[in-house]
Amino acid sequence: MRSQLFINNEWRDADSGAMLDVINPATEETIARVPSAGQADLDGAVAAARAALDGPWGRLSARDRGRLVWNIGEKLMERADDIARLETLHNGKPIFESRRIEVPAAADCFRYYAGWADKVHGETIPVSGNYLTYTLREPVGVVAAIVPWNFPLLLTAWKVAPALACGNTVIIKPASQTPLTALALAEAAAAVGLPPGVLNVLTGPGSTLGEMIVAHGGIDKIAFTGETSTGRQIMRGSAASLKRLTLELGGKSPNIVFADADLDAAVRGATTGIFYGKGEVCAAGSRLFVDRSIRDQFLDKVAARAKQLTPGDPMNPRTRLGAIASRTQLETDLRHIELAKQEGATLLAGGARADIGTGKGYFLQPTVFGGVTPAMTIAREEIFGPVLAALEFADVDEAIARANDTSYGLAAGVWTRDIKKAHYVARKLQAGTVWINTYNIYDTAAPFGGYKQSGFGREMGAHALEHYSQIKSVWVDLNQ
Ligand code: NAD
C-alpha cells in the first residue's frame, strides 16, 4: 500500500511533514497515514505537470498516448484484487462491489478513452475568401481532479482517462477519507511508463489543499465531483483565475413507479436504487414516487426487501451492504432519520444503527420511510445514505411535477409497461440521466452529469472530451 504523495513520478512526504489518518469505517481502526500536502507540495506538482506538457508527453504521438492510457486500464485489472481490497478498506463498501463493479469499470474507462486519443482532431473549414482555415484540438493544460469518497477510484478514472487521452497532465486530489486507491492508480501509471509529471497525486483535506488548488494560477481546469455547496465554493474561488470547470454535484433523484409496471422488477429497482453503494451514490433513487392505487402493497414489498438486506463485514464476498463511509456520514444519516420522524413520516423499515457482531463500525440498517410529503426535509435534502423517502402521486402529470420539484437534476427512474408514457415522462423529467425500467446502470460510453444544481459538464462518453480539449483556428493566406 502506497502512503506518500506522488509528484513527478517520485514518492514523497509532505514538505511540512503533516499527516492524515485513514480510517477503516467497518472497524474504526486507523489503516494508514498519508501526507497532508501544502502549498510547497502543490507548487511542485504544478511545476512538474506544466513541464510535462512541453516534455516527452507533449511530444508523444496521439496513438502512443492512447497506448499508455490503455495500459493503465490493463494494469488496474492485473492488480484488481489488491486495489479492490484498498477501496473496501477505506470506504467500507462490500468487496463484491469493489472487485466486480468499481475496479473493472475504472479499467474500462481507461480502455474506452484510450481509443479516443487519436480520434480527437480538428477539421478544415470552408471559409469565404482564398484561405485555408483549419482547427487544431489541443489539450487544456494542467487539470486538477478533485474527487469525493464514495467511488474514489471510479470517479478519478472518469476525469483522468479523458484528460490524458486529450494530452493534458493531471493532479489528483482524492477525498481525505479515501486516498489509497488514487495512490494505487499512480503506481499503475508509473508501472506502464507514464512520463514524470503527467499524473500526480496530492493527498490532503479540501478545506486546505482543495482551496489552494482552486486558487492556484498554474492550474487550467478543475474537474470536480462532490457536494453542491462545495461546487459553489469552487466556482467562487476559481473566478479570479477563470479556470475551466466541470461540476458533478449532488442529487435527490426520483424513482417513479406507475401501477402498470412490472411491480416485482420495480421493487428490486426501488431498493437497489437506494441501497446500492449504501445510498452513498450521487444518483441514488432517494425519492420513491408510487402510484397511489398500489401504494400500500408496493411499499410493503419494498420494506420487506429492506429488512432482508442486513449490513455485514465488507470484506466478506457475500456481503451486499457495507459500512457507512465515515462517522460524520453516519451521524448525518441518523440526524435525517430523526428529523423525518419528527416531521411525521412513517418508519417502515430500519431507522437505527446496526451491529455486525463486532461492536465496531459505522453500520446502518437500510431505512424506508412512507407517508412522506413534498415539503418534508427528507424529500428535499440529499442525505447520501441508505434512507428512502416514499411519496405518492395521483396521475402522470402530478408524478412529473413532484419529481421535478427539486433544485437537483442528476438522474431519475420510470417504471411502466406503457412505452408512450415512459418516453413522455423521460422527456419531461429535468435530469441528466433517465432510466426506464432499470436503475443505476452506467457505461463509459454513455454521458453522465447534472441538470439544474446537480452541476454542469458531462463525464464519460464522447461528450467529456469537449471539456479536456480546446480549439484553435488556424488561417493561411492562399492569395497569389
Ligand atoms: P465534498 O464536496 O465534501 O468533497 C469532495 C471533494 O472536494 C473532496 O476531495 C474534498 O476534500 C474536496 N473539497 C472539500 N471542500 C473543498 C473546497 N472548499 N475547495 C476545494 N475542494 C474541496 O463531497 P463528499 O462528501 O466527498 O462527497 C459526497 C457528495 O458528492 C454528495 O453530495 C454526492 O451527491 C456528490 N457526488 C456527485 C456525483 C456526480 O457525479 N454528480 C458523484 C458522486 C458524488
pLDDT digits (tens, 9 = 90+) for 194-244: 999 999 999 999 999 999 999 999 999 999 999 999 999 999 999 999 999
What is the 226 CA–ligand 1 centroid distance (Å)?
2
Would you please indicate which residues are annotated as catalytic (active-site) residues? 248, 282
Distance CA(1)–CA(181), nearest Å, equals 9
**pLDDT at position 290, please?**
98
Ramachandran region, residue 357 (left: φ > 0; alpha: ψ -120 to 50; beta: rest): left
Tens of pLDDT, residue by residue over 47-85, are 999 999 999 999 999 999 999 999 999 999 999 999 999
Cell (9 digits) for 192: 506502464
Give all strands (DSSP E) within 276-423, no chain letters: 287-291, 346-349, 353-354, 363-364, 367-370, 387-393, 411-415
Residue ranges per structural domain of the chain:
5-249+454-475, 254-443
- Of 151, 216, 228, 282, the one to substitute when testing ligand 1's pocket (max ligand atoms within 8 A of C-beta) is 282
Quick one: 479 exposed, middle or buried, by C-beta within 10 A (0-12, 13-18, 19+)? exposed
Residues having CB closer than 6 A to ligand 1 are 146-150, 155, 173, 175-176, 205-207, 210-211, 214, 225-227, 230, 233-234, 248-251, 282, 382, 384, 410, 450, 454-455
What is the 225 CA–ligand 1 centroid distance (Å)?
5
Q: How far is CA 214 from the centre of its chain?
A: 19
**pLDDT at position 12, please?**
97
- Of 91, 222, 225, the one to substitute when testing ligand 1's pocket (max ligand atoms within 8 A of C-beta) is 225
**pLDDT at position 91, please?**
98
Instruction: Please report where in the chains the cell 436503475 appears, as a residue.
Output: 439
What is the 250 CA–ligand 1 centroid distance (Å)?
8
Instruction: Please report where in the chains the cell 506518500 appears, as a residue.
Output: 4
Distance CA(179)–CA(35), nearest Å, equals 10
Q: How many residues does the chain have?
A: 480
**pLDDT at position 348, please?**
98
CATH architecture of 5-249+454-475: 3-Layer(aba) Sandwich (3.40)
Cα angle 24, 362, 203; round to 5 = 35
- pTM over 0.95? The answer is yes
Q: What is the CATH number of domain 254-443?
A: 3.40.309.10
- Of 178, 202, 227, 328, the one to substitute when testing ligand 1's pocket (max ligand atoms within 8 A of C-beta) is 227
Atom of ligand 1 nearest to the CA of 204: 11
**pLDDT at position 55, please?**
94
**pLDDT at position 425, please?**
98
Q: Which residues of the chain have pLDDT under 50?
A: none
Closest C-alpha to ligand 1, atom 15: 206
Atom of ligand 1 nearest to the CA of 226: 30
What is the 228 CA–ligand 1 centroid distance (Å)?
8
Q: In 3D, which of 331, 306, 339 has the Cα closest to residue 321?
A: 306
**pLDDT at position 53, please?**
97
Closest C-alpha to ligand 1, atom 39: 248
Q: Give the CB-side neighbour count of residue 179, counting CA atoms within 13 A.
A: 28
What is the 373 CA–ligand 1 centroid distance (Å)?
28
